Structure 1
Amino acid sequence: MSDTSHLKTYVKKHPDNKMGWYLLGKEYQNSGQEGKANYCFNKAGEVFEAFEKKQIPQDVWMEYQNKLAEIAHAQDKRNMRLRKLLVCCSFWLLILLPSAHAPGAISPGSGAASVVPEIRQTSAVIDEVIEQEASKEEVSPTAGSTNSEIKFTAADSTPESMSTKVGTLLSRQGSLPASTVVLGMKKEGNWLLWDDQLKTVYRLDKEGGGKVLVQSLDPKQCHCEPKDAAGLKAQATAWTSGQVELAVLNSSLIAYRQRYGGLPDNLQDLTKAFPDNVMDGVSEGMKPSFPSLRKRLADAQTADASAELAEGTALASSLDGTPSFTEPLRIIVDKSNYRLAVVSGNIMIRNYKVGLGGNKTPEGSYEISDKVVNPNGKSDGDFGSRGMQLSDTNYAIHGTNEPDSIEKDESLGCVRMSKQDVEELFALVPSGTPVTIQTGGLPDQELVPAVRYTSKQVSNQTNPNRIYHWLY
């Protein structure tokens, strides 16, 4: 009998042994049977979470697995002896008892003879049970689950991180929503890349009796076609874009508080005319999310950070109503590869190509002071259609009328960007955003969405009263 068969026999007889379920899941995983593996990992509960976070030496695994196999093998021998004894007893009873169906007589197919199939607990029966349970995990979404009940979250897409993420979710299954979808972020060096096309990796659906079904949505692991795959992908794309809106709003609220000492009462306070234009403009997703996000910041130093979540917003569709980007946005410029990134913590949201000035572009820490539309009254002048001054200096991040200078050292020290990139950056980052100019630290890979982030400007953000002399 194979180790897998022994383990199946063991967990059938000892269904409460979570380590047994975990080891059986590993056996299924190694043989490429992901549906059965996920079912076993779900049964393993907190053992799955604990052991997936650690690198357990192979000899420890083998010792534990062999011990379970020995126990199951010994149990099989005892059961076989018992079955033989029962069959033998049944045979002699059938010979010695009268053939007439007198009251109390044992006829074929009843009495002691029927005990044998009741005792039989073979690995084939266990395999059938697991097969039936595992097949349920390849149906998504579950009956009764509606799109409005799906909550999204994101994590590093590496197998180790995903295992930890799913294990953490399973450990708190009592507080999980009806359906949770985990999206995967690619890793580049120390950065996690936020893409508008993050892939759906796992889905967790609550069922009756405290069960949570875990389904892999990765085509490499699951060859099934999830129900309403196109609809789920559309929801995931809308959610990832909505998280960027929340990041802009959250950063703008924090920037406003740093400037004025308190939070704004409404969105209009963030989008005033120059020079009070903390935020470029308003998007549709910000309107219903503003009260909840403002309350979270206001209650950040208390135990109560809950708020009513408006249905249909990116905040309401997030797991626990928590935005993905809680740290304010900041800008990093890498002189070594002509890149400018917008990041929150260790998550990179954008990575643009820029033009620089070599040694004329200083390294150091700054923040965006003036944010100006059409610097010096022109949209096609030296500074393009947008300019963001760096602290109290003559350096700025701005557009250019020389697009061929991007990825070259042709400026007198400023950071040049293409028209599409600088206008998106202007809409993304509020006044007061920290800017770090350094050598190294960013990947070469560009990170820009197919559909750019935009917002509706509601005030005049030009500055006709000043001629800027940035070091173009």
Structure 2
Amino acid sequence: MDDKEQGGSGGGPQEGEAAARQRLEELKRYLASNPSNRMAWFLLGKTYASLGKEGKANYCYLRSGPIYEAYENEPHPFENLAAEDWLDRWNEPRRGGVARTALRAAILIAAGLALLPAASWAPGTALPATVDKPGGQPAAVSKPAQRDGDGSGIGIVWVDARSFPEGAAAAVDALSRAGGEDRAVAATLPEAGSHYRWRSEAAGAALASRASGGDYLVREPAGREECGCESGLSAEADEAVRSEKALQEQRWSVVSGIRSFERRYGKWPARLEDLLRPYPDNILAGRADGMEERFDGWLKEAKQPAAPAAGAAGGAPGGAAAGQATGGASAGRGRLAAAMAESFRIVVDTKARRLAVFSGPVAVRVYAAGLGGERTPLGRFEISEKVRNPNGSSTGSFGSRGMTLSDTRYAIHGTDEPDSIGKDESLGCVRLGRDDVEELYDLVPIGTPVTIQEGGLERLQPESGQPKKSRYRVEPAALEENPGKRYDWL
């Protein structure tokens, strides 16, 4: 096999190493924002080849598609190789072990299947040579959920974009730090402007599995039609993502409640029951299966320095509440992964007449709301009180649930006028449909920040009308009615 067949130098005049490395960094930065530019992939391959990195060069050439053939006047020698031919190339005795590993990974990544040597991987360090992510930095990861059973669970790691190199890196990094999982899915969410839509179907970026000899097997997603699944990876991966999302909603609710309890009482709760007291200390509305068992772990998470709620202080009403990432403990991680550790906050858009529950840039819920036009005040509030059946009725003018805003006469509540949702017919309060207000009541704790602003949610469509079985629900744990008070919300 000559040099071209080995994917070696790739041709072109030799240049100084410093200049080549500078060009390398420029191209990687460009591809981080323009991953579909095939000419950039070809030029990156030429640069890697000039530095003697044939495995990376071949990977880039294969990503360049027809550009390689147009400039080299022949197809890439590895473009249409059958699997048995790949094995012949790997096992050529005159190839060194390191070069053979790089070549093997380059070919497999291009085919959607990569074998990564575990010995070359260290969590938190740059990616190994066999999987080069444009930009040269490790992908943002979060620890996969721990699952019960025989250790065959699938962990989920969230990445900001559906990029196979980034997803492969994140999934392998997660497995290298995980306990019982033998597989990890790197998943992302659809975007709407600066937000991620939580209720939409998650898209898979990569599926990593443990292999023999300490290696990792990584698969690139196929199309949904080809796969017959939502993630593009497998039906089993779909179910793992759905289970993780349901668990994450519990985590958000409890962690937010723990932090609210500490702000309210100046101490940390010792057990879940501390959050489930009768009115008016009903931080959370109830419990769900598994909350008690996971409480100690979530308490540890809640004690980590939390990013300040966007829009909680300073600036114009709403501040960064439209979904900007915040700093704190999550600084330096991906926006989507960081959001999994943040607390709930609510944004009400008076222009779009919508209410959204956020964690970082993730829109966890979006509801159509009825408002009062100019009678609805702009500003920052918090949920200071939660009550079931205000004024002793689930069908009265305030519906079945009410949440007072900062001890004022303004509240988020239900209504006996469902046709007013999406209109400016209240005297200033925020009205929600019955199913929506009951779900919100169960989901967010007392102390949740609420920002009322004009604009910011235009790109997020309301999700009202979801079937009851898909709603977040908890079992009531204490008396949450207040028969001794007559509410006169606006």
How high is the TM-score relative to the length of structure 1?
Answer: 0.66
Structure-2 separation of matches of 1:464 and 1:124: 76
1:452 Cα offset (Å): 0.3
Q: 2:188 is aligned with what amino acid?
A: G
Confirm or deny: 8 A CA contact 1:196 1:241 kept in the other structure.
no
Matches within 5 A, 1:404-419: 404-419=419-434
Pairwise CA distance, 1:238: 1.5
Partner of 1:297: 302
Q: Does 1:385 align with 2:369?
A: no
Identity %: 33
Matches of 2:449 and 2:354, distance apart in 1: 16
- Matched residue, 1:155: 159
Structure 2 unaligned segments of length 5 or more: list them.
11-24, 53-75, 88-106, 115-148, 307-336
Counterpart Cα distance in 2 of 1:227 and 1:242: 22
Deviation, structure 1 residue 70 = 9.5
The partner residue of 2:290 within 285, 289, 307 is 285
TM-score (norm 2): 0.64
Does the aligned pair in 2 maintain the 1:7–1:68 contact within 8 Å?
no
Q: Per-residue CA shift, 1:263-294, capped at 9, x if unaligned?
A: 11111110111001000001113121101111
In structure 2, the partner of 1:39 is none
Mapped partners of 1:125, 1:393: distance in 2: 68
Residue 212 (structure 1) aligned with residue 191 (structure 2):
no
Is the contact between residue 242 and residue 285 of structure 1 (CA under 8 Å) also seen in structure 2?
Answer: no
Deviation at 1:458, TM superposition (A): 1.2
> What does the per-residue CA deviation read over 1:407-451, in whole Å, with 9 as the maximum and x for residues that have no partner?
001111011010000000000110011000001111241236541
CA distance in 2, matches of 1:389, 1:327: 23
The one-letter amino acid of 1:178's match is D
Q: Is the contact made by 1:179 and 1:205 (CA closer than 8 Å) also made in structure 2? A: yes
Give the deviation of 1:212 after TM superposition.
2.4
8 Å Cα contact 2:383/2:404 also seen in 1: yes
> Which ranges of structure 1 fall in alignment gaps of 5 or more residues?
14-45, 73-121, 140-144, 302-321
CA 1:268/1:234 → structure 2, altered by over 3 Å: closer, same or farther? same
Q: Superposed, which structure 2 residues align to 1:315-464 within 5 Å? A: 325-442=340-457, 443-447=459-463, 450=467, 451-464=470-483
Q: 1:381 to 1:127 in 2, by over 3 A?
A: same
**Structure 1 CA distance, aligned partners of 2:40 and 2:188?**
31
Query: Which amino acid letter does the alignment assign opposite residue 465 of structure 1?
Result: G
Partner of 2:32: 53
Q: Is the 8 A contact 1:200 1:218 kept in 2?
A: no
Counterpart-to-counterpart distance in 1, 2:33 and 2:263: 42
- Candidates 278, 303, 308, aligned match of 1:273: 278
Larger Rg: 1
1:164 maps to 2:166: yes
Cα distance in 2, alignment partners of residues 431 and 263 from structure 1: 15
Q: How many residues end up aligned between the 2 structures?
A: 360
Q: Label 1:469 to 1:209 Cα distance change in 2 as closer, same or farther (>3 A).
A: same
Residue 231 of structure 1: how far off its partner (Å): 3.4
Matched, 1:188 2:203: no
- Pick from 164, 173, 178 the counterpart of residue 182 of structure 2: 178
Partner of 2:81: 127
Deviation at 1:218, TM superposition (A): 3.8
Structure 1's 186 and 381: CA in aligned 2 closer, same or farther, altered over 3 A?
same
1:257 aligns with 2:257: no
Residues 255, 430 of structure 1: 8 Å contact kept: yes
Give the letter for the 1:343 counterpart.
Answer: F
Distance 2:282 2:489 in 1: 20
User: In 2, distance between residues paired with 1:430 and 1:366?
Assistant: 14
The CA deviation string for residues 198-245 of structure 1, in whole angstroms up to 9 with x for no partner, is 233421112234432221234169669899933332222111111101
Of 289-298 and 344-353, more deviation after overlay is shown by 289-298
Give 1:68 deviation, angstroms: 7.6
**Mapped contact 1:381–1:400 kept (Cα < 8 A):** yes
> More helix per residue: 1 or 2?
1
Distance 1:213-1:399 versus aligned 2 partners, 3 A rule: same
CA RMSD in angstroms, aligned pairs only: 4.0
**Partners of 1:454 and 1:10 in 2: how far apart?**
57
Q: Deviations over 1:140-176 (max 9, x none)?
A: xxxxx977332112233x445x643433445677436
Q: CA deviation at 1:370?
A: 1.2
Aligned equivalents of 1:169, 1:52: Cα separation in 2: 21
Give SS of 1:461's match: coil
